[in-house]
Amino acid sequence: MRIGELAARAGTTTRTLRYYESRGLLPARRDTKGHRTYDEHDLKLLRQIRTLQDFGFDLEETRPFVECLRAGHPEGDLCPASLAVYRRKLGELDGLIDELRAVRAKIGLRLAMAEEGPPRCELGGREL
């Protein structure tokens, strides 16, 4: 299939596909007329990249998954390098969750203090 068809089937743009090609994530095969050509395996690679990006992985983090698929594994997350990326990402997410919990606790404390504090000021019959 040509680049336009692949882009349409993958739900992306030809510009994105060219970028992935420049980053070595998508193969750069050409037909005799110089047009880019792709197959169903390339579509699977793209779907893996897009799914991971939807999960918050940056483009470089998708590379081990793409390489795993290229190595012939039926799924991109069956290789040790892919599993390492999953573990690292989970660690990052756990850290962010901890930070958010800390911020939430501080805001909750500030709210409780504000609600228990001195009476609200009134100016011109309106509360501030």
Range of the domain at 70: 3-117
**52-to-18, 26, 31, 34, 64 alpha-carbon distances in Å:** 19, 15, 30, 31, 11
Residue 3 vs residue 127, higher pLDDT: 3
Residue 127 included in any domain: no
Q: What is the pLDDT of residue 125?
A: 57
Q: Is 122's pLDDT higher than 60? A: yes
Contact predicate 41/35, CB 8 Å:
no
Q: Is 20's pLDDT higher than 80? A: yes
- The average pLDDT across 74-94 equals 95
CATH code of the domain in which 61 resides: 1.10.1660.10
Of 73-82, 84-93, 116-125, the range with the lowest mean pLDDT is 116-125
- Classified as helix, coil or strand, 58 is coil
What is the sign, positive or negative, of the torsion defined by CA atoms of 89, 91, 93, 99?
negative
Residue 109 included in any domain: yes
Please state the domain count of the chain.
1
Q: Is 123's pLDDT higher than 90? A: no
Residue 76 included in any domain: yes
Contact predicate 84/67, CB 8 Å:
no
Residue 125 included in any domain: no
Residue 112 included in any domain: yes
Q: What is the pLDDT of residue 118?
A: 76
Residue 61 included in any domain: yes
Residue 128 included in any domain: no
Residue 74 included in any domain: yes
